[in-house]
Amino acid sequence: MPSLSVNIDHVATVRQARMTNEPDPVWAATLAELGGAEGITLHLREDRRHVQERDLHLLGQTAAVRLNLELACSDDVLKIACQTRPFQATLVPERREEVTTEGGLDVAGNPAHVADAVKRLQDAGIVVSLFIDPDRAQIDAAVASGANAVELHTGAYAHAAAEFSAADQLQVLHDAAAQVVSAGLTLHAGHGLTYRNVRPVAKIPQMCELNIGHSIISRAIMVGLEQAVRDMSRLVSS
C-alpha cells in the first residue's frame, strides 16, 4: 500500500492571489495530517509564485509527518533545502512560463548536473527522489545519478483522452515501475491523479508513495464551501 503525501501548493496559490495570510498552507498541512496524510509535499519555485520560504521553515518545525520538498536543480533552492533539511527532496524541472510542472526532469540529458544536486542533498542528510517520465533511458540515468527514489510522472496516464489509451499508459507505468524496483530504487508516482483515476496507480506493485495536490484541494473547496457560506451568512444576518 502506498503512502499519501498531500501537496499543499494550491492552498498557497489562493493566499498569494491576494498576498495576504489566508489560507495558510501550514494550517492546511495540519488538517491533511489529521485526515491521514503520511507526508506533506510542497514546491518552492524559483519565482515563489505560491509556496514561500516562510512556509517551508514553519513546516520544518511543525509537520509531524515526512516533509517532501520539490525543487529545481538550481543553486538558490538547493542551498535553502540543505539548510532546512526536509526528510525528502524531489528534483523537478521548472520553467517560469509553465502553469504546473510539465514533463519529467531530463536526467539523461544532464547527468552530471543532476548527480551533483543529488549529492549535495544527500550530503545534507536528505533522501532524494527524481521526478521523471516513465521512460527506460530516464530511469537508467536516475539509477546512475545515485538518487534514492524515482517519482514516475503520471500525467500521460491521467490525461489520456480515451480508456484504451489510459490502459496503454498504465502499462507504460507498470513497466517503468518494474524497472525502478529491480534497480533497487524506491517507487513514487504523481501528477494529475484524481479520485477517479488513482486506484490503478495505487495498485502498482511496490508503489511506495503517491503525491497528490490539485484534486484534493479542489475537493476541499467543494466539501467546505457550503459550511463557509453558512458561517458568513450567520454573521451577515445577525
Residues in contact with ligand PXP by CB under 6 A are: 7, 9, 43, 70, 90, 92, 100-101, 131, 151, 190-193, 211-215
Cα separation, 94 vs 92, whole angstroms:
6
Comparison of 159 and 231: residue with beta carbon closer to ligand PXP: 159
Least distance from ligand PXP to the Cβ atom of residue 59, Å: 16
- Let me know if 43 is a catalytic residue: yes
Distances 236 to 22, 26, 232 between C-alpha atoms, Å? 20, 28, 6
- Let me know if 50 is a catalytic residue: no
Which residue is listed with cell 476541499? 220
Least distance from ligand PXP to the Cβ atom of residue 237, Å: 37
Q: How far apart are the first and last CA of the chain?
A: 49
Comparison of 143 and 189: residue with beta carbon closer to ligand PXP: 189
Give how far the C-alpha of residue 219 lies from the chain's centroid of Cα atoms, to the nearest Å. Answer: 17
Cα separation, 236 vs 212, whole angstroms:
36
**Which of the residues 10, 50, 153, 191 is marked catalytic?**
191
Which residue is listed with cell 509556496? 51
Least distance from ligand PXP to the Cβ atom of residue 129, Å: 9
Comparison of 134 and 190: residue with beta carbon closer to ligand PXP: 190
Comparison of 15 and 191: residue with beta carbon closer to ligand PXP: 191
Cα separation, 104 vs 117, whole angstroms:
16
Residues tagged active-site? 43, 70, 191
